[in-house]
Amino acid sequence: MGELKNTFSWSFSAAADFDECRRRRYWSKYGMWGGWNKNTDPETKKAYQLNKMTNRWGLMGVATENTIMRVLRQHQAGNPITADEAYEQVARPLLRRCWGESKRGDWKTNPKRFCCLHGHYYGTIEDEKTAGAQITEQVKNCTRNFIEKVLPRIGNITREQELPVRTPDMGGDPENITWNGLKMYVIPDYAYRIGSAFHIHDWKAGKVKESHREQLGLYAIWAREKFRARPEDIFLYVEYLNHGQVAPFQMVAEDFEALEMRIEESVAEMSEYLVDFDREKNEPLPKEEWELAADPASCKNCSFYELCEQELKHTL
Ligand code: SF4
């Protein structure tokens, strides 16, 4: 196999990281590159390991998504299951496995394969039992709301109507498009087509955030670029499962323009941190040029804290 190339790319989460902390973007895109090789230097290896870390809310989100998809698949197969059954079949085994791997430190042998939770690694989980119970309750609540409020709207969608989306767990390059020569990773949770209409849903197990509309806007660009969907035929739904609410909306021409401008500005800012602003080469400026977080509160839940700790102490 030839050597992998670290190509410049943009995604909603990359932009969010970059906006909050330049250094975090450095670690997750450049500092970790090659950290999977045995002979790499310790800092790169550490960045790679930390980049694979998740936290309990991320784990809860994955457990919820997997659980509701099991509910949907069973429903489509004419064999419906309850929220409790789905939890037992999908969420409980996943949560138990991940929690155990993280506590035992299995990730030390293979950070890509085994879970590492921020709370275990940095010792910030005060009460394991309470933390576990909160996750369980939220996954179950989201699943109940999905069955009551979302399934009646999408339960008749067939597998043939669904649009294929390559997710990171499938291996290989996840779903992406090229827009204006820029590679963008866009991974909608659930999308389907009814005639000329494109419907795209995103599952949110946590709080309502204004930024979610922008994220869904990117999915509209995905539908337009990949399937030649017309803006008036694209229907977007932010599904707040824990609240049992949906925020449906469509994008008009001005919304597309505003979002595209925001992406271009973000890309231009990211390019300033590359040697010669050259996105083709995609060679980062030295680490020190990527500023630490302006707000130290950002560091509290950051996976890369261990790598920044000494430098942060000197800046205080
Ligand atoms: S620990 Fe703080 S400074 Fe370091 S990457 Fe994370 S947010 Fe940025």
Which is nearest to 73 in space by CA: 92, 97, 89, 95? Answer: 89
Per-residue pLDDT in tens (0 to 9) along the chain, 316 residues: 567 899 999 999 999 999 999 999 999 999 999 999 989 999 999 999 999 999 999 999 999 999 999 999 999 999 999 999 999 999 999 999 999 999 999 999 999 999 999 999 999 988 989 999 999 999 999 999 999 999 999 999 999 999 999 998 888 899 999 999 999 999 999 999 999 999 999 999 999 998 999 999 999 999 999 999 999 999 999 999 999 999 999 999 999 999 999 999 999 999 999 999 999 999 999 999 999 999 889 999 999 999 999 999 887 6
pTM here is 0.93
Ligand 1 atom nearest the C-alpha of 27 is 5
Cα 148 from Cα 223, distance rounded (Å): 28
* Closest C-alpha to 138, from 204, 202, 80: 204
Quick check: CB of 23 below 6 Å from ligand 1? yes
CA dist list (Å): 288 to 111, 175, 227, 274: 26, 32, 42, 13
The whole-number pLDDT of residue 314 equals 82
Tell me the three-class secondary structure of 19-69, residue by residue. Answer: HHCHHHHHHHHHHCCCCCCCCCCHHHHHHHHHHCCECHHHHHHHHHHHHHH
Give the pLDDT score at 183: 96
User: Could you tell me if the CB of 22 is within 6 A of ligand 1?
Assistant: no
Helices first, then strands: H and E counts in the chain? 13, 6
Q: How far is the CA of 118 from the centre of ligand 1 (A)?
A: 14
